Amino acid sequence: MTAYERSRVLLRFADLVEKHNDEISALESWNNGKPFEQAAKAEVPMLARLFRYYAGWADKIHGLTVPADGNYHVQTLHEPIGVAGQIIPWNFPLLMFAWKVGPALACGNTIVLKTAEQTPLTALYVGRLLLEAGLPPGVLNIVSGFGPTAGAALASHMDVDKLAFTGSTNTGKIVLELAARSNLKPVTLELGGKSPFIVCEDADIDHAVELAHFALFFNQGQCCCAGSRTFVHESVYDEFTEKAKARALNRIVGDPFKKGVEQGPQIDSEQFKKILKYIKSGVESNATLECGGERFGSKGYFIQPTVFSNVQDDMLIAQEEIFGPVQTILKFKEIDEVIRRANASKYGLAAGVFTKNIDTANTLTRALRAGTVWVNCFDVFDAAIPFGGYKMSGIGREKGIYSLSNYLQVKAVVTALKKPAWL
């Protein structure tokens, strides 16, 4: 298949995604528990957008001619890496499908994709749409299974040439070890985070409160880059905390298929119990529980939107990834202090900065050790913007032009020249 034909397949697929928006969105809500409106208005349209973006790249991937000393013609070839093994998580099944499958297909690879055992439905459905769009059978192979069995088999397989994984840091370490012990296949990892959300004294407080709420509670708090450490300057701390509490109390929790619902259930009982355990830890550590802290309703894995104030850096709720609807608000005094504290984490996935001062923004964006820093915004995921982490938040970048290198091999071809007219 030519690069242009690959591009046309991806474009047809994007059209089919838009045609079946409601069916795909409903499946994603059944899959994951996220609100139908979130899937239908944001995630499914982004799925189509991402594939159109990679369709645009498919016929623009090429090598270079390179000048060399001596009578030689040197060119580089950008070749498909081969069989790409891909393991996606349960929190954003459709978007992670796009982040991985899109660039791999644009570069001309074949794929074995393992879905999370909790959320197999939408990948299987859109995989069928890719076949309908003209993707040859056998190019994309979707496996539903558990990590210790299907995931481990994929990571350690000698015929898999590349591995991409999104999930927890602990599982990422296992994936990396299995890849190394087998055939040293290159690995891209997008892992956990404990992202700082820094509200400076000159920030628009009402705007910052709303975006801090979104940064943490979006997708039931099950987001790797969630702004889960909210650092607020001492001069506006009390005002921010009161408004953050009020916003959390007004958050609409319930049936994800009902219009206006902002928060559905957590993914499963394991995650539900884990979040409640962290909430208990926060109370026992003497953080102030401003609101929430309990199960929502009498059935289902719903948790009340929870806000803690007076949180200290040494508390578990300020150090570990909760992956749930629990906002922790910390106080700071100086910019140098908040830089040091924000960076004092094993993670480095993302950060948010809220200030009207361009010098403050420039200082923080360069000082924070994170793969993405959002200034006066949060969770902006354009198809062209690369995403990935520092430190234990991962290896490599996904999305944008940077993602293409994950699925290409560079080959140098050197040919001797006889009596060249020029060099």
Catalytic residues: 190
Distance from the Cα of residue 333 to its chain's centroid: 31
Phi, psi angle pair for 384, to nearest 5°: -90, -10
For residues 180, 186, 188 and 193, what is the CA-based torsion angle, rounded to 10 degrees? 30
Distances (CA, A) of 367 to 199, 342, 396: 16, 10, 20
For residues 14, 18, 19 and 22, what is the CA-based torsion angle, rounded to 10 degrees? 140
DSSP state at residue 136: P
Q: Say if CB 229 and CB 197 are below 8 A apart.
A: yes
Name the H helices within 59-168.
Answer: 93-106, 121-133, 152-156
- Element holding 140 (H helix, E strand): strand 140-144
Pairing between β-strand 187-190 and β-strand 394-395 as defined by DSSP bridges = antiparallel
Cα–Cα distance for residue pair 180/168, rounded to 1 Å: 18
Cα–Cα distance for residue pair 138/155, rounded to 1 Å: 19
For 252, other C-beta atoms within 10 Å of its C-beta total 12
Q: Say if CB 249 and CB 305 are below 8 A apart.
A: yes
SS3 sequence of 268-313? CHHHHHHHHHHHHHHHHCCCEEEECCCECCCCCCCECCEEEECCCC
What number of CA atoms fall less than 13 Å from residue 420's CA on the CB side? 10
